[in-house]
Amino acid sequence: MPYESARTSAVSVDGRKVLRNTYMLLSMTLLFSAAVAGVSMALGLPHPGLILTLVGYFGLLFAVHKTKDSAMGILSVFALTGFMGYTLGPILSMYASLPGGSSIIMSALGTTGLIFFGMSGWVLSTGKDLSGWGKTLMVGVIMAFVLSLGAMFFDIPALGLAVSAMFVILMSGLIAYETSNILHGGETNYIMATVSLYVSLYNLFLSLLQIFGVLGSDE
């Protein structure tokens, strides 16, 4: 029993320290990504396309993984989030050009924030250990990604909307899972934790944009 008590206390202290560092880095990368997206919109830069986006994303993600234990890891994180901000700019420009586009973007942004604070707050207040969610969420993400490719290549809007709804649920779960993982010592590297939360927020925001965009077009 004394061993269990000491172990629980250590995990709690270390986990909260990693979480504080993660939130600090996450806030900076989100601001940087938003700034890059704004520049991309202002300059009217074209979207790099699916293939280049995937190559850039996975290449930079590999760089983050390789440098996660050094100072270069910070630069790699900003390179990755800056690149994702650049890819977001043309998408936001497209939505901004729609009737009520600004409202769609703000609704998606606000809902993303509410979900993030809601899921994180739930885990932080209850101390839930969600380690059992990992495999289910991973399988769900793979399925949703495959379905999204099908919706894109076969041009099935209804399937695309359903996939966006799936991603909202999955990314919400991933935010809670990652927060719990950090708290309970499953993730001790704040650089990797930051990337995981950033990618979840990025995909959550894009999915909400598509949903609000469709709903807005039906009004």
> How confident is the prediction for the chain on average, in pLDDT?
89
Provide φ and ψ at 81, rounded to 5°.
Answer: -70, -30
Burial of residue 39 (CB within 10 Å: 0-12, 13-18, 19+) is middle
Count the domains in the chain: 1
For 94, the domain range is 2-218
Query: pLDDT-based confidence at 152, cuts 50/70/90?
Result: confident
Contact 83, 195 (CB under 8 A): no
**Centroid of chain to Cα 8:** 29
pLDDT at residue 218, rounded to an integer: 54
What is the 8-class DSSP label of residue 132? G
Looking at the predicted structure, is the pLDDT value of residue 9 above 60?
A: no
133: DSSP letter: G
Q: In this predicted model, which residue has the larger pLDDT, 2 or 162?
A: 162
CB atoms within 10 A of CB 156: 14
Provide the sign of the torsion angle of the four alpha carbons 53, 57, 60, 62, taken in this order.
negative
Judge whether 68 and 91 are in contact, CB under 8 Å. no
As a whole number, mean pLDDT of residues 39-57 equals: 93
